[in-house]
Structure 1
Amino acid sequence: MNQSKIAYISFDTVPAPKGAAIHIEAFSQVLAAAFGDIHLLTVSPTAELINYHHIHPQVMQTMLPALGENLIQRVLYFRRLLRGWLEGKRFDAIHIRSIYEGLVIALNKKQYCDKLIFEVNGLPSIELKYRYPAVVDDRELLHKLHSQEQVCLTAADLIVTPSGVTAEYLHQIRNIPTDKIRVIPNGVDLDVFSYELSKRNIVNVPLQMLYFGTLSSWQGVKLAIEALGLINRDFPANLTVIGQAREYQIKNLKQLALKLGVAENLTVLEPISQKQLVTYIHNSDVILAPLTASDRNLIQGCCPLKILEGMATGTPVIASDLQVVRELGEDGVDFLLVKPGSAKAIKDAVLRLQNQRELATQLAINARQRIEEYYTWRRAGEALVAAYQELGIKRSMTV
């Protein structure tokens, strides 16, 4: 049997403009730099198996198809191919991100690896109902998801999560020992998300607001549009929404804007590259991150990349006052926090920044400094490598 050092396996498409793909690229690069050649296994964007070698010279990426008419079919298809790919291979460590790829490995851990690392960013038993609302009434499916998560959590030698809220949930609710959990927050590529204080003349309205990220319901994009309607009662403002969404989600947002009389003030764009996104950020007066007070954000936890990336750029951020956000900075110092679920609170915060330009500038300055000190991919990578070394994975002597 062929023993290799590390396999990083994820039921995600990489590269892609989504936060998950950005995270996977950053972590796979740092693992390769520290430990030598690694295998990265992800989902193919086509019906074909693809070998890809552009993320890092020492990252050997294989993309397996995940075909099917729904998520369950795609997961089962991917798992079948994953078993074939794993045949005859064994690793010092395998790094997983979900039950979709992880269950196969967790159930056969001794066969496939010495150490199993489970990176918990989200759990289907909590998140899936937001994507498929009918799931909320399917107790049998939710129980099965919960059970499969527990199998992976129990089998893992190390659990990595980006949020203290998630760590608390895993310990208190899922009974995972704290010494098995490492909190490693997300990071920002400072070379891409460059710092530039706004040069826009605020006298020249309309105000330019920006939301970027997925359009999932827990992100609160509808609140941003409701705030857009309220703000336009006082002065002209535009909102640009950039992110991955289904057709019905975009339709619902545009219908809401039409109902509120701000259809012409809303622009919805598909995901774009990070470099293109930075241009939009620098041309905006404020970034909105109106996360909802849902179990996904309050109980499971998260580490919103949109907030970190916005903080790095010189454009002030307005976000919901949730613990997952308070972990990242201080209200009134690094960003403005507002009551979750309140479009009026967002409007009031926007007006405050409009009327207190010195505050807006100071928030942007402080936020960039905080990102530079605490939230870079370099810092996250160093923490990940240290966690691997604690498991006994030795750094490569040839890198």
Structure 2
Amino acid sequence: MNKSKIAYISFDTVPAPKGAAIHIEAFSVALAAAFSHIHLLTVSPTTDLIDSVQIHAQVMQTMLPALGENLIQRILYFRRILRVWLQGKQFDTIHIRSIYEGLVIAINKNLYCDKLIFEVNGLPSIELKYRYPAIVDDQELLHKLYSQEQICFSVADLIVTPSAVTAKYLQQQRNIPADKIRVIPNGVDLEVFTYRLTENANDLPLQMLYFGTLSPWQGVSLAIEALGLINRDFPAYLTVIGQAREYQIKALTQLALKLGIADKLTILEPMSQKDLVTKIHASDMILSPLTANDRNLVQGCCPLKILEGMATGTPVIASDLPVVQELGEDGVHFLLVKPGSAKAIKDAALRLHHEKELATQLAVNARQRIENYYTWQQAGDALVKAYQELGIKRSITV
């Protein structure tokens, strides 16, 4: 049996215009730089298996198909193909991101690897109901998801998570020892998310931006409601950029029509980071109206859109939640507003419009904070350190 160094396995499509894909690529590159050859295993964007594609130096990617009419079918299909791919392979370390790919490995850890690292960004037992509301009443399924998560927690040698809120939940609600958890926040590529201060004349309409997924916990509808309120006092436009299902776009469009601001709202599909930064630099402010629910308050997250926005010179307005508070200080690095309040978003937006010096200072401070604490280089270094603390040795370079 051949034994390789590290496999990074995720039930995600990479590359893709999503925070998860950006995160996975950044961590893969960091691991490869420290530990040499990395196997990156992700979901194929087609119905075919795509094998051994070199995407970065020392990173070889294999993409396994995940076929099916719904998420459950796709997961089960991916797991079957994953078992086949794993046959005859053993790794020093396997790094997983969810139970979807991780359960197969966790229940046969000794067969596949010496060390198992579980990177917890989201937990299906908490957040899947926001994507599929009908499962709220399916207690059997929720219990099964919870149990599979517990299996992965118990078998993992190290748990990595991007938020202190998530770490607290894992310790207090899932009984995971604190010394088994490492908090490693998300980062920003400062060469991509370049800095340029926005300049908006007092008599021009406000240009506001939201980017990210249009999932219910993101609060995009609140941004649209705030747009309606702002337009009562001052002309404003909102551009929404992100991945969404047809019904989500329809609901947001209908809300804008109801509020009489359909001509003020533009919804765009995901775009390259380069094009996204151009949109950010053309905006006066970025909105991140996260909602106060268990996905954000209990499970936790590290909102990449907020970090990326903070890097660009465009001030950020975000919900006053613990997951945001750990990224910076209200009135210093961004403006925080009452969760669920469109009026609070409106008041903050008009404040930034009228108080130009405040908007500029927030942008300056935010960029400095990102440079000091939230780059992918720093996140990668922290991940490598966590691996080393687990006894995984760096590759020796000559």
| TM-score calculated relative to the size of structure 2 | 0.99
Preserved CA contact (<8 Å) 1:163 1:183: yes
Report matched runs for 1:306-325 at 5 Å.
306-325=305-324
Offset of 1:287 from its aligned partner? Answer: 0.1
Q: Distance in 2 between matches of 1:225 and 1:351?
A: 15
Deviations 1:68-109 (A, max 9, x none): 000000000000000000000000000000000000000000
| SS of match in other structure, 1:258 | helix
Offset of 1:203 from its aligned partner? Answer: 2.8
Q: Distance in 1 between matches of 2:204 and 2:233?
A: 12
Q: Distance in 2 between matches of 1:66 and 1:33?
A: 29
Deviations 1:215-253 (A, max 9, x none): 000000000000000000011100000000000000000
Q: Distance in 2 between matches of 1:49 and 1:379?
A: 33
Partner of 1:191: 191
Q: Distance in 2 between matches of 1:63 and 1:108?
A: 21
**Code of the aligned partner of 2:159:** I
Partner of 1:331: 330
Offset of 1:144 from its aligned partner? Answer: 0.2
| Stretches of structure 1 lacking an aligned partner (at least 5 in a row) | none
Partner of 1:51: 51
**Code of the aligned partner of 2:378:** R
Q: CA RMSD in A?
A: 0.8
Partner of 2:204: 205
Partner of 2:7: 7
Partner of 2:396: 397
Q: Distance in 2 between matches of 1:204 and 1:389?
A: 56
Report matched runs for 1:88-103 at 5 Å.
88-103=88-103
Q: Distance in 2 between matches of 1:357 and 1:74?
A: 50
**Code of the aligned partner of 1:155:** V
Offset of 1:205 from its aligned partner? Answer: 1.8
Partner of 1:167: 167
Partner of 1:64: 64
Offset of 1:398 from its aligned partner? Answer: 2.9
| SS of match in other structure, 2:238 | strand
Deviations 1:296-339 (A, max 9, x none): 00000000000000000000000000000000000000000000
Partner of 2:181: 181
| SS of match in other structure, 1:292 | coil
Preserved CA contact (<8 Å) 2:256 2:262: yes
Distance 1:52 1:220, change over 3 A: farther
Offset of 1:55 from its aligned partner? Answer: 2.8
Aligned residues: 398
Preserved CA contact (<8 Å) 1:116 1:157: yes
**Code of the aligned partner of 1:158:** L
Q: Distance in 2 between matches of 1:109 and 1:32?
A: 22
Partner of 2:106: 106
Q: Distance in 2 between matches of 1:55 and 1:319?
A: 35
Preserved CA contact (<8 Å) 2:202 2:353: no
Deviations 1:239-279 (A, max 9, x none): 00000000000000000000000000000001001111000
Q: Distance in 2 between matches of 1:195 and 1:43?
A: 33
Offset of 1:40 from its aligned partner? Answer: 0.3
Offset of 1:54 from its aligned partner? Answer: 4.7
Q: Distance in 2 between matches of 1:294 and 1:273?
A: 30
Report matched runs for 1:34-45 at 5 Å.
34-45=34-45
Preserved CA contact (<8 Å) 1:311 1:334: yes
Preserved CA contact (<8 Å) 1:161 1:185: yes
Q: Distance in 2 between matches of 1:398 and 1:152?
A: 34
Partner of 2:268: 269
Q: Distance in 2 between matches of 1:280 and 1:354?
A: 18
Identity %: 81
Q: Distance in 2 between matches of 1:179 and 1:139?
A: 32
Q: Distance in 1 between matches of 2:203 and 2:309?
A: 23
Preserved CA contact (<8 Å) 1:186 1:376: yes
**Code of the aligned partner of 1:6:** I
Offset of 1:392 from its aligned partner? Answer: 1.1
1:31 has 2:28 as partner: no
Deviations 1:16-74 (A, max 9, x none): 01000000000000000100001000000000011353531210100000000000000
Preserved CA contact (<8 Å) 1:25 1:55: no
Preserved CA contact (<8 Å) 1:105 1:112: yes
**Code of the aligned partner of 1:60:** M
**Code of the aligned partner of 1:90:** Q
Preserved CA contact (<8 Å) 1:8 1:38: yes
Report matched runs for 1:294-305 at 5 Å.
294-305=293-304
Q: Distance in 1 between matches of 2:52 and 2:289?
A: 36
| SS of match in other structure, 2:9 | strand
**Code of the aligned partner of 1:246:** R
Partner of 2:345: 346
**Code of the aligned partner of 1:332:** G
Partner of 1:386: 385
Offset of 1:206 from its aligned partner? Answer: 1.3
